[in-house]
């Protein structure tokens, strides 16, 4: 049995288990005077956040094995060349990693958001570029299609997203970063089509993507109320992918400029409603931030594992440097912060799957996990000493990859602003 088939069976079993739990929960509601939440608390013993169900463990372990065996040997070369290996992308589809939450009726795995988070973490532990490709596909593009797509859009696009087509999420522009809705890309309705003109920057997966969820404004004077989301395929007339950025980290992941010159988009390719793109952008990014948290704990874990192993092997003054209390304290601090960040990521993902409001928690998760990744990877370099500062050893790459966590999908300052607004009730 191929690993792809195994993962599909795991997805299916997880879905059946969820349905069974829902049926039992509904049966409990017939008990007079007991609310749903009270019934669940009385009938189910709570599990630790990091305790995984059997299906989740099998899913995680298969991805971990794949990452170690198939991705790790290619990491250094992909980073140096700044190009992602095409055969790996094919493997991602074959393994089912590009359509984790897509329902089985559309050819996907039919799993939960939490499985997407596990996949991003395990891939990022080996290579952050791999992690972010899977992250954008699942937590942003597929997620937006599932939530706001029409049935026709789902039938047309989701089977391709699960089997062959990579997605990208195009919001940012030269003058529109943290001020996400200061968009200049303009959409004008002409007959049965919209005509789009403008440029997008910093678009992850831009080089490989076949589908772009792209945001443009129908009326700049309307502010955020003019923002509309469009489904743009790469071969649409008037649409081109521009230069690929030469980046500090996640170098194998393409980050590109998009150029729209009288790009014609059919009316049926509007995602959601005209003028409601701001809602899609905000709510999708809230969920995407959990994915970035998973990417950051994966990066931190990978660096910590290398640093701990090196500390046990490196000899100074006649013994392993791990025998020195100063190194022990650093490794312990790193492990503690990684565990704290993992608790936040897992809790937030579970909240999303449970249908609980998680906006504050998502902002906190991205903020803290990105801080942890930066600190842990920096300490890993210090444990390696001079060797850690060279490209001959892997920890400097983890440090470079970690930096983006404080920048994309909402800077750390924007997360702090969101958290402050929510905790202060403003």
In contact, 143 and 267? CB cutoff 8 Å: no
Residue 259 bridge partners (DSSP): 199, 240
Q: Give one word for 288, left, alpha or beta, with left for phi > 0 and alpha for psi -120 to 50.
A: alpha
Backbone angles phi, psi at 30, to 5 degrees: -75, -10
- 409 classed as catalytic: yes
CA distances from 262 to 27, 193, 198, 219 (A): 56, 11, 9, 16
How many Å apart are CA 75 and CA 78, to the nearest integer? 5
One-character DSSP codes across 207-248 = TT-SEEEEEEES-GGGGGGGEEEEEEETTSTTEEEEEEP--S
Nearest partner of 238 among 214, 207, 262, 206, judged by Cα:
262
Tokens of 235: 């071969």
H or E element that contains 161: helix 151-163
Backbone angles phi, psi at 92, to 5 degrees: -60, -45
Dihedral sign, CA of 142, 78, 338, 373? negative
One-character DSSP codes across 399-416 = HHHHGGGGTTTS-HHHHH
How many Å apart are CA 278 and CA 226, to the nearest integer? 8
Q: Single out the catalytic residue among 173, 287, 374, 409.
A: 409
For the annotated catalytic residues, the residue numbers are 409
């Amino acid at each position: 049995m191929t690993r792809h088939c195994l993962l599909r069976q795991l997805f299916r079993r997880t879905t059946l288990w969820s349905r069974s739990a829902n049926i039992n929960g509904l049966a409990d509601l017939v008990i007079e005077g007991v609310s749903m939440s009270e019934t669940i608390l009385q009938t189910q013993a709570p599990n630790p956040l990091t305790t995984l169900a059997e299906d989740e463990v099998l899913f995680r372990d298969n991805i971990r094995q794949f990452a170690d065996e198939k991705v790790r040997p290619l990491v250094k070369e992909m980073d140096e060349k700044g190009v992602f290996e095409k055969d790996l992308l094919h493997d991602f589809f074959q393994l089912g990693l590009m359509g984790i939450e897509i329902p089985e009726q559309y050819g996907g795995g039919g799993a939960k958001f939490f499985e997407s988070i596990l996949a991003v973490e395990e891939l990022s532990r080996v290579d952050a570029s791999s992690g972010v490709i899977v992250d954008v596909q699942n937590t942003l593009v597929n997620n937006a299609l599932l939530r706001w797509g029409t049935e026709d859009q789902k039938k047309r696009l989701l089977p391709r997203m699960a089997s062959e087509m990579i997605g990208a999420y195009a919001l940012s522009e030269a003058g529109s970063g943290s001020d996400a809705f200061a968009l200049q890309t303009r959409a004008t309705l002409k007959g049965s089509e919209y005509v789009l003109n403008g440029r997008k920057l910093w678009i992850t997966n831009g080089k490989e993507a076949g589908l772009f969820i792209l945001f443009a404004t129908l009326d700049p004077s309307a502010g955020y109320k003019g923002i509309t989301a469009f489904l743009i395929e790469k071969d649409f007339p008037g649409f081109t992918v521009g230069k690929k950025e030469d980046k500090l980290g996640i170098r194998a992941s393409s980050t590109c400029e998009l150029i729209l010159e009288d790009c014609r988009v059919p009316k049926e390719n509007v995602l959601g409603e005209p003028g409601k793109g701001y809602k899609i952008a905000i709510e999708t990014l809230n969920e995407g931030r959990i994915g970035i948290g998973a990417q950051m704990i994966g990066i931190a874990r990978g660096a910590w594992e290398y640093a701990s192993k090196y500390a046990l092997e490196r000899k100074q003054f006649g013994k392993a440097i791990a025998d020195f209390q100063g190194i022990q304290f650093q490794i312990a601090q790193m492990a503690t912060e990684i565990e704290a960040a993992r608790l936040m990521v897992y809790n937030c993902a579970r909240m999303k799957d449970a249908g609980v409001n998680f906006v504050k928690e998502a902002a906190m998760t991205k903020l803290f996990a990105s801080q942890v990744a930066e600190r842990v990877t920096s300490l890993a370099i210090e444990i390696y000493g001079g060797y850690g500062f060279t490209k001959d050893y892997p920890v400097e790459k983890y440090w470079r990859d970690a930096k983006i966590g404080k920048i994309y999908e909402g800077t750390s300052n924007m997360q702090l602003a969101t958290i402050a607004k929510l905790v202060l009730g403003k």
